[in-house]
Chain A
Amino acid sequence: MAKVSVLNVAVLENPSPFHSPFRFEISFECNEALADDLEWKIIYVGSAESEEFDQILDSVLVGPVPAGRHMFVFQADAPNPSLIPETDAVGVTVVLITCTYHGQEFIRVGYYVNNEYPNPELRENPPLKPDFSQLQRNILASNPRVTRFHINWDNNTDRLEAIENHDPALGCGFPLSCTPIKGLGLPGCIPGLLPENSMDCI
């Protein structure tokens, strides 16, 4: 059973200009004091087509975590526009918040992000080279996509947990590595790829 469960993620300052930092207020509950820190990451998916454009915006350690409810604000700088393919700069993409414990990812929260020009003129006739200073970022805060993974919470890798880690459901598309993966790509294929509350399906 997961020792940490995320209770809520509130998206702060939304919508905001493209260059302003991301801010998420994360509250979570821990039912047993953790020996080590949690590692949180914000990953910005630059292009739905390829993982190579994923940017880890930031990664922080959170700790110590005693039993109880906790909250913190996770702030990360805006993505580097130069790493984003020009064709993908405007439109819908995804931002991921992941949390790992002992290098094992146990939760992944994905938000759709819509980058568009608030200026109707620009919207009608977008410049060929995206003008990031004019872009507005709008996170679809009301509809987070949450995927939970079973991990080994104890230091001693006991047999039972080890088996769980090879859960077929996990093996089939959500490797436990922390490397950014294409969890959320094209909006159209998202429901298939990332079933809501995938745990329920296991």
Chain B
Amino acid sequence: MSPVLQEDDEKDENVPKMLCQMDNHLACVNCVRWSNSGMYLASGGDDKLIMVWKRATYIGPSTVFGSSGKLANVEQWRCVSILRSHSGDVMDVAWSPHDAWLASCSVDNTVVIWNAVKFPEILATLRGHSGLVKGLTWDPVGKYIASQADDRSLKVWRTLDWQLETSITKPFDECGGTTHVLRLSWSPDGHYLVSAHAMNNSGPTAQIIEREGWKTNMDFVGHRKAVTVVKFNPKIFKKKQKNGSSAKPSCPYCCCAVGSKDRSLSVWLTCLKRPLVVIHELFDKSIMDISWTLNGLGILVCSMDGSVAFLDFSQDELGDPLSEEEKSRIHQSTYGKSLAIMTETQLSTAVIENPEMLKYQRRQQQQQLDQKGSAARETGSATSVAGVVNGESLEDIRKNLLKKQVETRTADGRRRITPLCIAQLDTGDFSTAFFNSIPLSGSLAGTMLTSHSSPQLLPLDPNTPVPFGTSKPSTEPVAATGTRPAGDSVSKDSVNAASAPAAPSPSILTTPSKIEPMKAFDSRFTERSKATPGAPALAGLTPTAMERLKEQSLVKELRPRDVLESSSDSDEKVPVAKPSSLSKRKLELEVETVEKKKKGRPRKDSRLMPMSLSVQSPAALTAEKDAVCLSVPAAALKLPMPGPQRAFTLQVSSDPSMYIEVENEVTAVGGIKLSRLKCSREGKEWETVLTSRILTAAGSCDVVCVACEKRMLSVFSTCGRRLLPPILLPSPISTLHCTGSYVMALTATATLSVWDVHRQIVVVKEESLHSILAGSDMTVSQILLTQHGIPVMNLSDGKAYCFNPSLSAWNLVSDKQDSLAQCADFRSSLPPQDAMLCSGPLAIVQGRASTSGRQAARLFSVPHMVQQETTLAYLESQVAAALTLRSSHEYRHWLLLYVRYLVNEGFEYRLREICKDLLGPVHSSTGSQWESTVVGLRKRDLLKELLPVIGQNLRFQRLFTECQEQLDILRDK
């Protein structure tokens, strides 16, 4: 800019005027836009193409071959991507805030959103305009994009789902005649959107559209012909405080330049009713485009007549520009921008107060560098070998080129020369080929970087002729290119977007970036749900009666999924109904991946078994009520009961393989009929007899228990030893469960008991399900007994309760209709790797609903504050539920997530409370109530795990330091 600003520089021949001429477009170029980072330039033209340019960093000035010498390109800009999709001239292009997306609009009536992190991926094509789309602007917060077209409408689209938010037509109804462009603009504070060419009382205006309700009450009037370009100053200003004047805080305001077909330019401040300045007849033809300088004090205006004008303002005229920090504070207060969207420059302005923190940050940077370095070394070693082979100067090569040149003859006898490759492409970025094939990943980015920055170019002689120029060392910091796209381009909003380009995570800011398209996540996730990990699938075997197969077919549909879900946790033994014969085979097909092949014998047996019964799914069993011969005491609740059968088989586990076989009334000894219980575990068998008929059985690796008629419950060890005299149940059995040494019995009158057989204590004593089943036709759809002996009931209405023995109350742990889960969005806090890999009782109970909830979250546009609150509430309830279920693994997972969210969003008080609890008293006092462990995890270890997360936000450096110091004190003790 200096030759434009200063005459001396203009006259100085050593100051280059034109830096680079890019002549790749095939037709006239309609629009050029710098990315916010300044690293890329996007251009769109009548050739229907958008080209994205990046500066090639280390080739010096050169001329275009064949052109006369004075046209030397001082800087080398290389086209890194060509975006092809439009079927007509591209009229405008726009980078989204933080350069996550690039939008382009065209005379083909569409707007295309490109993934700027992964060109040339198209995220969305916005259709809806019925005329040539001639202007685009992004909302500074990234929530919307607006387009204006010849169809006399201005449309605002949501970036959340790329759907139309609103279409504004009224101010454009009178618009006749066409302008070449309709460049609209959004104010930097986000409040106003100003359109090009609108009409008010048959006078041309620039319509002001308020963000709140898209109201169109104001406009900029005065131009004599249609407005072609509107461009807001990137800065927000505030009144310059004059000495002596009252320090009355004035409202910040924006500044807007309006260019028109009438060849004049007007500049407006939103705090003034009249324009700040109007320049008439600036050009010979219509104004085409306007661009403000970064500091907000200069404007460049270009016209159809081929000239460009520069206007210079002083701070006295415009006011004091707010700093980026203040600007983002305004955004934050208005739209609740989270820290995730904060630019790195802002972060870097925070002073690191503590050496420990500094060390931590350094360490992270070091790790990044190390990883890069190792990647560099790998490629470096490869290239250095090549370097030695042709380790000669370019001059040498040129001397011997003819001799060395590989020349062959083709089949038809023609000469074919293999050219000598003298250099890789030097964009310092990815060639189009890269874009097409390989997904970006941190390491790859590193590799590519090295291939450009390592001196693998053959050593260049500075005297070599012009086009090769002199090799200039890479000026760009190595880290910049690789990590940037992940770091600051992933805005909070892109996180919500259906096709967010990158896996968002706050850790990305500091850890080596791992850019993965969302797709990868999805597929990984579905893979997982398809083939549940090699956990031994537990399928309890309760064969179904042949004649009931029809009734069951409905249930069958559901069951295989149940199996999959429940088997995701190897520890939880969830007996699952296993229908015999036909249905069984079907089931096996679906569970194949999970289930180990069973030994021949038991399977055969179960196939031969004519009689079967399902215990698992009471819903299916309601049909059996009639078959129940025992009278049930009158009660409000009556759960289905299993009827007596001649024989049945049950698989307890497949690894170790364990079966229970029951034969009722087999042997008669002196007129008394006995029932036989057989158990086989890894080939070892035991048998025992009982005096009454066995109704149902259950087993775990530790115990086997059977419920008989006359309300008897007997418990045996794995070797068949009776552990207890029969327990008399208050009413007939409905469902029996075993997990570890815990035995759970649900009776027909809906009372629940859980005993710990080893310790011989009661965990839950005849607790009634009345409170949770009350009032409606609800049934229990799934029953779960956790490893810690906590019973969980999944009800047919989608709610799940667990019984908390210490509180002696039912706790709601999951609700499929929970609106919190639907609105919560903590995607940004998900760790990149083990995103969904947390399994446990809570996951089983909640199923995959939690994911769909997050999917659904993207469909609603919720004010940020509300979303924050719901997310917090949801995460807190998840942590609490995991704690109640005593599922340590899940507790850790959700706690980490919760803390990460708190760190991201900057909730200090809650964060502090968590840390305080985890840390406990540093100096042990006798009166302390503090427990050092939580669900089997040491709290201080948890805190150590949380600290790096907390350290990611410099705002919490004091908290970080405090905890770190106290942990150090504790360790030293």
Contacts and interface: CB of A to CB of B under 8 A. Distances in A.
Interface of A: 1-2, 5-10, 23, 25, 27-29, 31-33, 37, 58-75, 109, 144-146, 150, 160, 164, 167, 196-197, 199-200, 202
A1 B51 contact: yes
Given A67-B431, A196-B67, A27 B414 contact: no
A200 B23 CA distance: 8
A8 B467 contact: yes
A105 B424 CA distance: 25
Contacts of B398: 10, 25, 71
Contacts of A10: 398, 465
Contacts of B62: 7
9 contacts: A1-B24, A59-B414, A60-B417, A68-B421, A68-B422, A73-B405, A75-B402, A145-B66, A164-B26
B631 interface: no
A150 B24 CA distance: 10
Interface string B830-860: 0000000000000000000000000000000
Given A9-B65, A196-B66, A196-B67, A25 B401 contact: yes
A58 B415 contact: yes
Nearest to B67: A197
Interface string B407-434: 0001000111111111111000001110
Nearest to B71: A197
B418 to A, nearest CB: 7
Interface in B453-486: 465-468
B814 to A, nearest CB: 53
B48 interface: yes
B84 interface: yes
Contacts of A37: 416
- Residue with the highest number of chain A CB atoms closer than 10 Å, among B62, B66, B84: B66
Contacts of A72: 401, 405, 417-420
A68 B78 CA distance: 13
A68 B414 contact: no
A70 B421 CA distance: 4
Contacts of B90: none
Nearest to B86: A160
A8 B78 CA distance: 17
Interface in B37-90: 47-49, 51, 62, 64-68, 78-79, 82, 84
A3 B641 CA distance: 77
Q: Is the interface of B mostly helix, strand, loop or mixed?
A: mixed
Contacts of B465: 8, 10
Contact of B65 (A1, A7, A64, A73): A7
B416 A71 contact: no
B425 A68 contact: yes
Contacts of A9: 65
A23 B422 contact: no
A15 B270 CA distance: 71
Interface in B429-455: 431-433
Given A7-B467, A8-B465, A69-B422, A32 B24 contact: no
B79 A1 contact: yes
B18 to A, nearest CB: 14
B415 A65 contact: no
B672 to A, nearest CB: 87
A27 B402 contact: no
Contact of A66 (B51, B421, B432): B421
A150 B467 CA distance: 22
- Residue with the highest number of chain B CB atoms closer than 10 Å, among A10, A70, A73: A73
Q: Which 7 A-B pairs have the closest CB atoms?
A: A146-B66, A70-B419, A61-B416, A69-B423, A8-B467, A73-B402, A72-B419
Nearest to A59: B414
A100 B410 CA distance: 17
A1 B425 contact: no
Given A2-B24, A8-B467, A59-B414, A70 B67 contact: no
A167 B51 CA distance: 20
Contacts of A29: 425
Contacts of B421: 66, 68-70
A30 to B, nearest CB: 9
Contacts of A5: 65
Contact of A67 (B51, B405, B415, B433): B433
Nearest to B414: A61
Contact of A199 (B23, B401, B425): B23
A154 B66 CA distance: 26
Nearest to B423: A69
A167 B46 CA distance: 13
B419 A32 contact: no
Contact of B401 (A32, A65, A73, A164): A73
A126 B424 CA distance: 51
Given A31-B79, A73-B401, A144-B65, A63 B51 contact: no
Given A31-B425, A31-B431, A146-B67, A60 B26 contact: no
Nearest to A197: B67
A127 B417 CA distance: 40
Nearest to B64: A197
Given A10-B465, A65-B419, 15 more contacts: A8-B65, A27-B467, A27-B468, A60-B415, A61-B414, A62-B416, A62-B419, A63-B419, A67-B424, A71-B419, A71-B420, A73-B405, A146-B65, A146-B67, A167-B26
A200 B64 CA distance: 12
A1 B415 contact: no
